[in-house]
């Protein structure tokens, strides 16, 4: 690790955080950090290694970066990707100011049967300070944009953004965000060593990144010298460039990467009733096909057939009048509790398989001796996690006004989701993933609305919206893939992760003013209704619905009286009324994962991985499963008829497919920015990853 590699990584963090929001919200081009395969990062990495680094070598050999230096820079940039997108900034600022706008059109927020109007139930420091005197500057310009033609960006940031109204609420929220992230960095160091060294997981995304990074002091990686790699890269890249050119000139004939078999849908009415329509209009992703090639066959098969099984199962249930409900909702429903059961079972499995290592790590973390060797980075990771997670719970239960018992449950459920999601990413290469259940729905299902109470629910959903409403771009998978790349280049991971904390500080310091700049300059991204209105309204709409339900049962006054400050939090437990209707679905999800895990451990030829039940009901499954199925078929045919030799020989071709698709996404991104800056017109939008490019 050298000074210039760290400097390059931090500069890269500045760039990615400065331009991400404007890319997808203003120019509407490819999102540079979309999901856990940020094409803006990996595409830039390919271009740097292919073009820029060789030019630096030609100018002066010492200017060129070595493989380990590139790995360090990549790791810091990846860690910083947690700030600008869905993990934080996509809905962070809107959640703090847009409730005032939604309040104008939501009469139910003000006229409550018991208690204050909705916005008055929160301490003032939890939302932006909007008053009649500053309403136009703080809220009006946020929605509509500023009419001032100020070409000096820095001047606009310092004078046009009403920092005075934002200062107090940012001082409240940002410490909690950093506690959450620091705890994530700590636990990442622990689980990575278990998964990478002890369990030998494939890490497909990191394997791809490592393959395009040169070894040692080489300038050109061996992969770039392979003809099959370039065949795959150029073929896929040409498809996307032709399709992108078609956006500018419709006379050009595009090359389809999807098919339409809807005429066959009428043959399977039960399957269609369960949501299987997407099966008949699949969009194929070359990068997913490539990653499926690098994982065990039972994994790619599980991800390929799981959603199809769900469509049929769901269709059967609907035929009998059984609705599974929405998984991504704050209401306890069969879907979200089945997914919670699956995630909980997977966490138990992970804890059991790594029990000796994890026990040794935390014994060392609290100063106890252990016979098993524990790397110092894991020991410090354990200490950081314990301290930061404890600080987060204290933060939520003191200045956050939440009962400490609920704070512990909320933080625990958040890390359950993060750990299991990250496990899926590093074991399967599934870079677009959602859990399909929310911690708040689980807590409400466990306690019931009477015992939980409206105020506690309001705070819980608000914290969810600010910390982890959409973990499809969250910190932990970025960190794990960064750590694996560092391992492959024999770089000290502990030192880089400690610098990762600095990268996160820089990321927020850049992404926050950049996001507010474009929002106050151009207006909030009204095209993204999810972040502009749905997420900001979610805490209050949830409580309105909850109170209306309690009132209809005559329980609202009792629920309000039980919903007391943190010192009396045990009242939640004394009046618990768990939702027993969703219990069988929790047991079903739990049992399926444990059954398939046991089968995989006991029978060497067990065909399907339990990861299927962590994926099959989710939104990403709709768009990804056809590509995983193709990848499974390609891998199976090659290994059956060509054996291990043919499998290894074709690996560069699969790397090329992934590289071509990533370049096919990042080149329109760069071209769009160049076009906008030169002509001051919005470019044509093109998303190489289709429905995964949001």
> Domain residues of the chain, as ranges?
3-692
Average pLDDT over residues 406-426: 96
Q: Which residues have CB under 8 Å from 92's CB, separation 6+?
A: 173, 466, 512, 515
- pLDDT by residue (tens digit) across 620-678? 888 899 999 999 999 999 999 999 899 999 999 999 999 999 999 999 999 999 999 99
- Kindly report the three-state secondary structure assignment for every residue of 403-434: CHHHHHHHHHHHHHHHHHHHHHHHHHCCCCCC
* Pure H helices in 330-403: 334-353, 355-365, 376-397
C-alpha distances out from residue 28 to 21, 22, 34, 508, Å: 9, 8, 13, 22
- Has residue 153 got a pLDDT over 70? no
Spatial separation of the C-alpha atoms in residues 549 and 539, rounded to whole Å: 16
Q: Which residues have CB under 8 Å from 246's CB, separation 6+?
A: 252, 253, 254
- pLDDT by residue (tens digit) across 289-331? 999 999 999 999 999 999 999 999 999 999 888 888 877 889 9
- Has residue 691 got a pLDDT over 80? no
For the chain, what percent of residues have pLDDT higher than 70?
97
Spatial separation of the C-alpha atoms in residues 369 and 347, rounded to whole Å: 26
Confidence of residue 264 (pLDDT cuts 50, 70, 90): confident
- Has residue 555 got a pLDDT over 60? yes
More confident: 147 or 641: 641
Average pLDDT over residues 514-538: 90
Q: Please provide the distance, in angstroms rounded to a whole number, between the alpha carbons at the two ends of the chain.
A: 34
Q: Which two tokens stand for residue 114?
A: 């018991």
More confident: 506 or 251: 506
On whether the CB atoms of residues 84 and 17 are closer than 8 A, the answer is yes
pTM given for the model: 0.94
- Has residue 156 got a pLDDT over 80? no
- Has residue 567 got a pLDDT over 50? no
Report which of 673, 527, 141 is spatially closest to residue 150, judged by C-alpha positions: 141
H or E element at residue 551: helix 535-552
Confidence of residue 526 (pLDDT cuts 50, 70, 90): confident
- Has residue 173 got a pLDDT over 60? yes
Query: Can you state the angle between helices 204-211 and 651-679, rounded to 10 degrees?
Result: 80
- pLDDT by residue (tens digit) across 364-395? 999 998 888 899 999 999 999 999 999 999 99
Confidence of residue 262 (pLDDT cuts 50, 70, 90): confident
Average pLDDT over residues 437-453: 94
Spatial separation of the C-alpha atoms in residues 55 and 73, rounded to whole Å: 18
Give the CA angle between residues 528, 532, 537 to the nearest 5°.
130
Residue 566 pLDDT: 45
Residue 111 pLDDT: 80
- Has residue 610 got a pLDDT over 60? yes
- Has residue 278 got a pLDDT over 90? no
- Has residue 31 got a pLDDT over 60? yes
Confidence of residue 692 (pLDDT cuts 50, 70, 90): low
Average pLDDT over residues 482-510: 94
């Amino acid at each position: 690790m050298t000074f210039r590699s760290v400097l390059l990584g931090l500069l890269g963090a500045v760039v990615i955080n400065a331009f991400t929001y404007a890319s997808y919200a203003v120019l509407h081009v490819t999102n540079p950090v979309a999901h856990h395969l940020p094409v803006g990062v990996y595409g830039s990495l390919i271009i740097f290694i292919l073009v820029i680094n060789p030019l630096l070598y030609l100018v002066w050999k010492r200017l060129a970066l070595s493989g380990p230096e590139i790995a360090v820079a990549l790791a810091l940039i990846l860690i910083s990707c947690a700030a600008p997108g869905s993990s934080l900034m996509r809905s962070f600022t809107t959640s703090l100011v847009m409730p005032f706008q939604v309040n104008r059109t939501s009469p139910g927020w003000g006229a409550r049967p018991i208690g204050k109007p909705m916005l008055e139930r929160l301490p003032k420091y939890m939302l932006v300070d909007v008053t009649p005197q500053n309403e136009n500057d703080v809220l009006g310009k946020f929605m509509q944009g500023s009419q001032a033609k100020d070409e000096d960006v820095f001047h606009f940031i310092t004078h046009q953004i009403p920092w005075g109204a934002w200062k107090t609420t940012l001082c409240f929220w940002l410490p909690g965000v950093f506690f959450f992230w620091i705890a994530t960095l700590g636990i990442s160091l622990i689980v990575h060593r278990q998964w990478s060294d002890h369990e030998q997981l494939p890490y497909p995304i990191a394997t791809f990144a490592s393959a395009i990074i040169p070894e040692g002091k080489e300038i050109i990686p061996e992969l770039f010298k392979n003809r099959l790699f370039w065949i795959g890269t150029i073929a896929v890249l040409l498809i996307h460039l032709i399709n992108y050119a078609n956006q500018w000139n419709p006379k050009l004939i595009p090359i389809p990467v999807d098919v339409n078999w809807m005429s066959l849908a009428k043959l399977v009415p039960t399957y269609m009733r369960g949501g299987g329509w997407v099966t008949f209009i699949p969009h194929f992703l070359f990068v997913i096909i490539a990653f499926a090639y690098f994982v065990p066959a039972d994994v790619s098969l599980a991800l390929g057939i799981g959603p199809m099984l769900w469509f049929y199962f769901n269709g059967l249930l609907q035929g009998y009048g059984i609705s599974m409900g929405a998984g991504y909702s704050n209401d306890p429903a069969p879907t979200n509790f089945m997914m919670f059961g699956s995630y909980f079972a997977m966490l138990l499995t992970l804890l059991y398989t790594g029990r000796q290592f994890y026990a040794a790590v935390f014994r060392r973390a609290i100063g106890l001796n252990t016979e098993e060797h524990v790397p110092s980075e894991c020991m410090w990771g354990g200490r950081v996690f314990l301290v930061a997670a404890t600080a987060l719970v204290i933060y939520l239960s003191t200045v956050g006004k939440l009962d400490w018992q609920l704070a512990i449950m909320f933080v625990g459920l958040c890390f359950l989701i993060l750990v299991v999601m990250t496990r899926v990413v590093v074991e399967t290469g599934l870079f677009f993933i959602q859990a399909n259940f929310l911690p708040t729905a689980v807590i409400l299902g466990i306690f019931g609305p009477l015992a939980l109470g409206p105020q506690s629910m309001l705070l819980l959903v608000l914290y969810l919206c600010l910390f982890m409403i959409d973990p499809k771009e969250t910190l932990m998978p970025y960190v794990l893939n960064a750590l694996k790349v560092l391992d492959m280049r024999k770089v000290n991971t502990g030192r880089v992760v400690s610098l990762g904390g600095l990268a996160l500080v820089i990321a927020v310091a850049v992404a926050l003013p950049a996001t507010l700049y474009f929002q106050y300059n151009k207006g909030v991204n009204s095209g993204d209704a999810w972040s502009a209105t749905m997420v900001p309204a979610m805490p209050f709409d949830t409580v309105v619905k909850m109170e209306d339900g309690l009132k209809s049962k005559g329980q609202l006054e009792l629920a309000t009286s039980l919903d007391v400050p943190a010192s009396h939090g045990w009242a939640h437990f004394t009046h618990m009324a768990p939702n027993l209707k969703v219990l069988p679905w929790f047991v079903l999800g739990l049992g399926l994962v444990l059954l398939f895990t046991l089968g995989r451990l006991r029978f060497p030829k067990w065909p399907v991985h339990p990861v299927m039940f962590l994926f099959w009901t989710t939104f990403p499954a709709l768009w990804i499963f056809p590509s995983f199925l193709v990848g499974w078929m390609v891998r199976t045919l090659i290994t059956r008829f060509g054996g291990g030799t043919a499998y290894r020989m074709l690996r560069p071709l699969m790397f090329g497919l992934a590289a071509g698709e990533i370049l096919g996404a990042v080149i329109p991104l760069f071209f769009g920015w160049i076009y906008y800056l030169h002509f001051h017109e919005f470019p044509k939008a093109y998303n190489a990853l289709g429905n995964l490019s949001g």
